[in-house]
Amino acid sequence: MILADADLRSIQEARDLVRRSRAAWERFKHSDQATVDRICEAMARAGSEASEHLAKLAVEESGFGNEAGKYQKNRFCTDMLWESLKDLKTVGVVHRDDDRRYYQVAESYGPVLAIVPITNPTSTAMFKSLISVKARNSIVVSPHPRGIRCIGEAVRIMSEAAVRAGAPEDLILCMQQPTLEGTHEAMKARETALILATGGPGLVRAAYSAGKPAYGVGPGNAPAFIERSADVNHAVRAIIGSQMFDNATICASEQSVVIDAPIYDDVKATFIRNGAHWCTPEERAKLSAIVVRGRRVNADIVGLFPHQIAAMAGFTIPETSTVLMVEESGVGWDHPLSVEKLSPILSVYVEDGWEAGCDRCIEILNFGGRGHTLAIHSRDEDIIWSFVAEKPTHRILINAPTAQGAVGFGTGLVPSMTLGCGAFGGNITSDNISAHNLLLTKHVGYVYEGFVESFPDFALGPPKGFHFNALPAAPAPGARYSSSGSVGTSSPVNAPRGLSPAQARGGNAGGAGSASAGGAHGATRGGASSPAGLAHPGNPTHPASPFAQRADASAQHSANAGGGHGAAGSSTSSSGAGAPRGKPPYEGGTLPDFANLKYRTARKN
């Protein structure tokens, strides 16, 4: 049956692609780290080598931006992105807390639906492909209809490189007939596990409403404040460099400049020396008439050069102009040039003092830029950190061009083309989204020694007394400040630990494991100092545990470990009784190879 309607063809294509993507993910999800990294490195190399070709194709098809900027974006989303990702562990145990016998195991989501905008078409397609595969997901790309050819070419290059490096067919797919209906169908498909939505607010809202986990992003409208202590030349060059970076099509690019009044003349003169065109009131009126249509930015101005925008508005400026500067007095729909424009047009505000500048920046952010990006150019650290504390935004860049700095190009931020705006902007995350956001975590915890043994005698019936056996609590994730307790908690009691292999075999090395090591530990250990007390599958020293090393591996591990394990290592070697068992993971031992677990082997056979 041939479907005649474009929306029906797109819907059927979406269904077919997510099903194929799911099948490819099933074949790929158990890949080891070396395989994943080999595939990703090949993708990054292929994308980098095609950067110039893709940049020319993107400008030719979309009419947005410039080839030089798109080339830099393509290299950034391949070379620099892979540099950021290459050492990230995305297979097996990715975090270990041996003191608490707690482990985190990486788990992939499954098929990712990636919506790619026209403003950054090829770079975003390669970025989303690379972070998805690094996290062991498959991906289906839904391209903007104005960028089908260039986005499809970028996806083809990444897919073919992945397959050559050992990836299954269909791991990276792209819709050829994208429509809004088809994209919505892919969002809601049972096989789709996660949505990466970069696009207009309507599309992002649809992603959040699809009933699937989704990462969306908000609009930018970033202001830059030039405070009176700033290096004016450096600040102006940073801002113009940001505007010229693919003609300000990155949503983090500056949309407004707020100038501290005492340095206004110096800032204006410096902008003009660097090719900026300072608009007259008449030119300002003409620009205001074309920048918005209704209550949306006019897409026809996005990514154009300043002289092209001026021509559309009805006046002429040199083709060498770098940015259009337009003085504004207010913020909101009554001031059209205060919106996010995604083109080299900067609205200019003059405020006397950093407090007034702070208020103006907040006003701008509240008009379509909450949670996204702000820049401050200053050499006064007190003022800088006051800005950090007060602004409703998650990327605050110091003396940096925002288009590059917010995505992690020239700053220490995580390289990303998908910038979360947090609760300020109605997003689930404030991160620069990368492969770590596309991983799930399995949490593995071994029971503390003596915890179950401390339960009351249930033969006497349900407990009636009020009793609480206090144990150390695992610290909540995040940065820690100093405390009097151990391992980041307020408790003076160390985390209960299992006995060393020597103690498990009846040795007396390491007196801390005995009942005399303190009332709290002595009470909970009870009779667990004998090998029989450790013989349960929940203990990683038990031979049934997948963490337990076998006799043939123990000697090799001991030789490799050397003296690095300190007392625990010496206690193992000092005991001659029983078969060597190797160190459990909480003594620094080897974690399991997930490729060789019993259920995996059985499934392979």
Q: Which residues contact 430 (CB under 8 A, 6 or more apart)?
A: 371, 394, 420, 421, 422, 423, 424
> Which residue in 174, 251, 358, 421 is the catalytic one?
251
Q: Which residues contact 361 (CB under 8 A, 6 or more apart)?
A: 223, 225, 258, 374, 387, 391
Give the type of residue at 130: L
CA separation for the pair 473, 358 (Å, rounded) = 42
379 bridge partner residues: none
| The token pair that represents 495 in the structure block | 């985390």
- Which strand ranges, in their side-by-side order, compose the sheet holding 439-445? 93-97, 102-108, 439-445
Whether 174 is a known active-site residue: answer: no
| Nearest alpha-carbon partner for 321 in 332, 334, 310, 337 | 310
Residue keyed to tokens 């270990």: 96
Phi, psi values for residue 27, rounded to 5°: -80, -20
CA separation for the pair 269, 249 (Å, rounded) = 26
Number of residues that this document lists for the chain: 605
Burial 448-484 (b: 16+ CB within 10 A, else e): bbbeeeeeeeeeeeeeeeeeeeebbeeeeeeeeeeee
CA separation for the pair 81, 312 (Å, rounded) = 37
**DSSP state for residue 302 in the 8-state scheme:** T
CA separation for the pair 40, 164 (Å, rounded) = 11
Q: Is 598 exposed, middle or buried (0-12, 13-18, 19+ CB in 10 A)?
A: exposed
> Judging by DSSP bridges, how do beta strands 102-108 and 93-97 pair with one another?
antiparallel
CA separation for the pair 520, 533 (Å, rounded) = 18
| Nearest alpha-carbon partner for 434 in 85, 136, 11, 162 | 85
CA separation for the pair 503, 513 (Å, rounded) = 8
Beta strands, E only, 251-344: 254-260, 276-278, 292-293, 296-297, 323-327
CA separation for the pair 243, 255 (Å, rounded) = 9
Helical axes 121-134 vs 67-75, angle rounded to 10°: 10
Active site residues: 251
